[in-house]
A and B are shown apart, each in its own frame.
Chain A
Amino acid sequence: DTGVSQDPRHKITKRGQNVTFRCDPISEHNRLYWYRQTLGQGPEFLTYFQNEAQLEKSRLLSDRFSAERPKGSFSTLEIQRTEQGDSAMYLCASSLDVEGEKLFFGSGTQLSVL
């Protein structure tokens, strides 16, 4: 399977703990996006990378959130000192810059903060 893969699929954590999610994009895709989705809402943009460069961060991304994409391959999204409001589905997507409108999504990581 050469689609976008995300790990883990589910994460349950206690408030105040740190969590890290991983995304492996489609290998030839140079763009990588992180979105967050809550119940009844559409995906909300968090940040995106062109190769290893982080090009934009949403104001939704507080100082507790950090994303990296070392060497322009896989990406990690870390949330420090989790809060109950962080509970959501975190979606990763990748694309080629020449067809940047076609995002290929992974199945997401469902985070529950207790």
Chain B
Amino acid sequence: DQQVKQNSPSLSVQEGRISILNCDYTNSMFDYFLWYKKYPAEGPTFLISISSIKDKNEDGRFTVFLNKSAKHLSLHIVPSQPGDSAVYFCAARNRDDKIIFGKGTRLHILP
């Protein structure tokens, strides 16, 4: 059973425009939601998180929105830059501190 779902395997966005990556979850007991970024041959790196009691968290070009009623979160990157090309993983933390990842979305930033 996939508790964290990223339904878009890939996304292409023009440099300078907004990138929106989406994620759905099924478990109402998650207390934190996270986004990780991964480059080839490296481990994932933490990008941004949001507590389940909030609906928005912003850090520079990155903003995460949480819609608990829809069990949906999204990551907005604006403006998109070439270095943003990577695989982005949505993740969620259980109350027992286990972090569960989605399958990832590959983001291509086009020149």
Which residues of A does B touch, CB under 8 Å?
A: 4, 31, 33, 35, 40-45, 48, 55-56, 91, 93, 97, 100-108
Q: How far is the CA of A103 from the CA of B102 in the complex (A)?
A: 15
Partner of B102, one of A42, A56, A107: A42
Chain B residues proximal to chain A, CB less than 8 Å: 4, 6, 9, 32, 34, 36, 41-46, 49, 89, 91, 93, 96-104
| Total contacts A-B at CB 8 Å | 58
- Complex: A42 Cα to B97 Cα, angstroms: 18
Contacts of B97 in A (CB 8 A): 31, 48, 55, 97, 100
B104 CB contact (under 8 Å) in A42, A56, A103, A107:
A42
Given A48-B98, A101-B34, A102-B49: A43 and B93 interface contact (C-beta under 8 Å): no
